Structure 1
Amino acid sequence: MSKNGQMHSLSILTVGPNHEGVGAPSLVQGVYGAVGNLELLSCDREDGLWVYWFNSDRESDPCETPDVPAGTWSAGLHFASGAAYAEAQIMQSSEGPNHLEVLALTRAGALESWFWSPGPGFQRRGTPAWSRDGADRVEAFNAVISGGQVSVTVRTSHGTLRRLHSDTTRYPERHWEASATGPGLTDGWADLAKLRLVEPAEAIPSTAREASSTREGGMREVTWRGADGRVRHWGLPLREEN
């Protein structure tokens, strides 16, 4: 709710209402469309990953995707069949140009590296960012991208924090090197209680994330997983926070 106690102008949307999932959803603003659509990645409860896109165009813009009208989410694309995932993150890259980067943590503890390009779609790289080494599996991770360079922090089952970095020298392949710096594991987390969006019982703890976008003059994009396993999305115009 806003400072004056009124509901914000945009409603909470359910993304992929027919798909139950696990873990925190990941959202980023892309470069496609008139003003830059939103891309959202979610782990399926049983198998693979789902990616959705939000049409951020204005109703006055030419309608190029009648199946996904302005202001709505797509039905979703399923990929990475044959594996079960615990967490996944999507990022907009400048390489390609304008490819998408995905890091996906399998429930066996390996951190896979994927990328999307027009035509072939999502492709998994042969070299993971972190492969399971005995009992030293990945339990959590967080990544950031700058241009096409990716930095990631992982926490292993031994409680160790490892920081990795990949430049674009061999793109589209990636070579991961140890790094002295990396993002915090909780960077980008959102506080649903502070935002007063839902009752605690209506959301799965620790799945809320937030990102910024330029749509509608600037938005705070908040996502979380509901108690029913579905993804929720809510956008707050930044002007309402002032």
Structure 2
Amino acid sequence: MSAPPTPVPLTPGWPHCGHGADPAHDPIGCRGVHTPGSTACLAHLADADRAAHLAGLTSGSDVDLRGTPLTRSLLNQVLDAVRDPATGNPHFGSAYFAEATFRENVRFNGARFTGPAWFHGARFTGQARFREVQFHDAVWFTEAQFSKSVWFSGTRFMKDAWFDGTRFVEDAAFDMAQFTEDAHFDRAEFSGPAGFRETRFSENAWFSEAEFAVNTATACGVTVGGVARWSDCVTNR
């Protein structure tokens, strides 16, 4: 029996960079969204063009980096471009990071997102720190993958937060996080320790069909103001 054909990757739903495309092996190439005024993504812009684009960002700017491969250095340049001089912390308006790839350890600590934040399908290959971040609008981490440890300790989710289908390969810390509206963790996979110490869910918390590694979930002092649904959760042994 012949081997099944290799699946053809789907073309992104946005105008994409295409850097490195090869008709035989990689017909799509880089999936990063076009930087305004260019056909390249931020990662593949010429240095002068990248510097000019970043110089046009200010505290509270909207950022669109869908599908973009982000090194720690490039992400830090973006964080610096939107840094609020009054607080010293990054301040995003709407943030589009869907399907972006974060290739090294990243730190969003203390950042503020005043518009919706999309991290749907993003890939974090290094550690990810979102400590004490403020999400003022809805945030989506659906189908994202964290290959190393991730921290959301002390983070405030002021609108709905979506982690449906998110995969946490190592530690996932939500200790002392606050969810003001609904929190969605349906079908999330926690392969390493999951920490929810003193986490506060003011409304509903959904964990239907979530999967936890055995003896690794800590939920001391959790507060739930609405419905907590844990139906069909799986604990691996």
The reply to whether TM is greater than 0.5 is: no
Structure with greater proportional strand content: 1
Mark the structure with the bigger radius of gyration.
2
- Structure-1-length-normalised TM-score: 0.22
